[in-house]
Structure 1
Amino acid sequence: MVLLIDVGNTNIVLGVFDKDNLIADWRLSTDAKKTSDEYGIEILQLFLYSDLEYKQIKGVIISSVVPNIMYSLEHLIRKYFKLEPVIVGPGIKTGINIKYDNPKEVGADRIVNAVAAHYEHKRPIIIIDFGTATTFCAVNKNGDYLGGTICPGIKISSEALFERAAKLPRIELAKPSSIIGKNTITSMQAGVIYGYVGQVKYIVSKMKKEMMELGEEEPFVIATGGLATLIAEEARCIDKIDPLLTLKGLNIIYKKNEESSYGDR
């Protein structure tokens, strides 16, 4: 079994793969103040709750966009699992080519998503990840990561209204029945949700146009992240929702680098 860890700004998503089968997945809050022991005990408790034996873990891979949490995570893997984790970063075999001005600037989560999407579909793809930030990534048929767009996430946009406008309350991220709000709450919900839908539609349309001008067929659009379903209900440009995309990508990268450790590199 392989333990997969994806560290985002808000949450840490963990999964356990047995070959190509995801047998467990969990979500923890990202907290750089926690020690390796605190995280270690939490993760062992999750294994216990899921009736899994942590000693059967034979490999660990980590992708992270939060550098100051990595010491604790790496230390807990060495202490509790007695393993050296694979870290997604420069020098890691991924199977895709990064056509960025500076490939080191591309977030590990974006690379992992691109790997999974290309592996599964083998066609031009636009990947939308609704996380703390919302990212749009373009991958061509050959597996070249062309680049993308980074926007404030839906929660950031909502919180900005609450924090910067004295009379506006904090709202639940829920779709109102009408875009014409009849009170402050539904007016804010309409602005945040439908405004974000419009943003998604426009960016996808522009990215499709640019990719097709490069000779690609019309890209397939995949969405992932916690709020993907909420937006996809209105953004018909999204072809598929895959909440496990990042974990799938980590499993693929782990297997590629496991092979490399036996002389495939």
Structure 2
Amino acid sequence: MLLAIDAGNTNVVFAIYDGDRQRGLWRIGTDRNRTADEYMVWLIQLMGLKGLKAVDIHGAVIASVVPGATFNLKRLCKDHFGCEPVIVGQPEVELGTRALVDKPEEVGADRLVNTVAAFAAHKCAMIVIDFGTATTFDVVDEDGNYRGGVIAPGLNLSLEALQLAASKLPRIEIAQPPNVIGTNTIECMQSGMFWGYVGLIEGLVSRIRAEFGRPMKVLATGGLAVFFAKATHVIEHTDNELTLRGLLQIHKRNMGQ
């Protein structure tokens, strides 16, 4: 079985695959100081609830945008699962995509993994929107290569910044308000967050398509993908496990499968 690890700025996601079938999926808050032993104590208990054991794991793959966490995740794989992980971004790891940008080494591992998975699923030029700590828009060309994109503050990050900067504003949940024009403070804030992000999505997708100059599908991933897909016609597909599927494909490629 394969252990796939996606380390983001907010959460680290662990998934176990038996071939193409997912056997378990768990999240833990990202902590650069969490040790390999601490990860293992937490993970092995959750694996046990699914009837899985450490000896069942025969391979591992890691994509991380948190350099401080990568070392301990690598130690987790080597010390507790007895396998050398495939780490996205290392020179010897073949992705099946090229980053055709000014500084390829600066492209986040998650964005390259999403490119691989999106192209494998749809075989066409695409815009991949990832709703995470940041909201990213990634451009995939007709050959499956990464061509650049856009990075905007994530919705939760924007909301936190607003609440920190304006002391009189209350804490609110992210929700679609009944109207665009709010008639109280909470509805006004919800409208700004929700419809403001719909405007961001539609505006950037329109400008990217115009600049790219060729037809492009739009796929969204991340926790808020389905939430926003219901509010705008520009999001054509959603896939909340896009990054994990990309990791699975990259591991297969590097194992010669």
Q: Please give the alpha-carbon distance, in whole angstroms, between the structure 1 residues aligned to 2:146 and 2:119.
A: 10
What residue is the counterpart of 2:55 in the other structure? 55
SS in 2 for 1:93: coil
Residue deviations 1:177-225 (CA, integer Å, cap 9, x gap): 111112111110110110011000000111111222xxx3x11110000
SS in 2 for 1:204: helix
What residue is the counterpart of 2:36 in the other structure? 36
Residue deviations 1:14-73 (CA, integer Å, cap 9, x gap): 111111222221111111122211111111111111222221111000000000011211
Q: Please give the alpha-carbon distance, in whole angstroms, between the structure 1 residues aligned to 2:71 and 2:254.
A: 22
Cα contact 2:128–2:219 (8 A) shared by 1: yes
What residue is the counterpart of 1:239 in the other structure? 236
Q: Which amino acid aligns with 2:241?
A: L
Give the TM-score normalised by the residue count of structure 1. 0.94
What residue is the counterpart of 1:202 in the other structure? 203
Cα contact 1:175–1:230 (8 A) shared by 2: no
What residue is the counterpart of 1:69 in the other structure? 69
Name the % identity: 46
> Higher mean Cα deviation, 69-78 or 191-200?
69-78
Cα contact 2:23–2:50 (8 A) shared by 1: no
Structure 1: where are the runs of 5+ without partners? Answer: 261-265
Q: Please give the alpha-carbon distance, in whole angstroms, between the structure 2 residues aligned to 1:211 and 1:18.
A: 39
Cα contact 2:6–2:243 (8 A) shared by 1: yes
Q: Which amino acid aligns with 1:60?
A: A
What residue is the counterpart of 2:86 in the other structure? 86
What residue is the counterpart of 1:27 in the other structure? 27
What residue is the counterpart of 2:144 in the other structure? 143
Superposition map of 1:88-167 within 5 A = 88-91=88-91, 92-167=93-168
SS in 2 for 1:84: coil
2:218 to 205, 216, 221: 221
Aligned residues: 256
Runs of 4+ in 1 over 4 A off after TM superposition: none
SS in 2 for 1:147: strand
SS in 1 for 2:39: helix
Q: 1:143 Cα shift?
A: 1.1
Q: 1:166 Cα shift?
A: 1.5
SS in 2 for 1:98: coil
SS in 1 for 2:232: coil
SS in 2 for 1:187: helix
Q: Which amino acid aligns with 1:154?
A: L
Q: Please give the alpha-carbon distance, in whole angstroms, between the structure 2 residues aligned to 1:166 and 1:88.
A: 42
1:230 and 2:227 matched? yes
> Higher mean Cα deviation, 151-160 or 176-185?
176-185
Q: 1:13 Cα shift?
A: 1.1
Residue deviations 1:149-199 (CA, integer Å, cap 9, x gap): 000000011111100011111211111111111211111011011001100
Q: Which amino acid aligns with 1:108?
A: A
Cα contact 1:4–1:250 (8 A) shared by 2: yes
Cα contact 2:115–2:145 (8 A) shared by 1: no
> Higher mean Cα deviation, 92-101 or 125-134?
92-101
Q: Please give the alpha-carbon distance, in whole angstroms, between the structure 2 residues aligned to 1:104 and 1:224.
A: 23
Q: 1:104 Cα shift?
A: 0.5
Cα contact 2:182–2:191 (8 A) shared by 1: yes
Cα contact 2:221–2:238 (8 A) shared by 1: yes
Q: Please give the alpha-carbon distance, in whole angstroms, between the structure 1 residues aligned to 2:230 and 2:125.
A: 23
Give the TM-score normalised by the residue count of structure 2. 0.97
Q: Which amino acid aligns with 1:67?
A: P
Structure 2: where are the runs of 5+ without partners? Answer: none
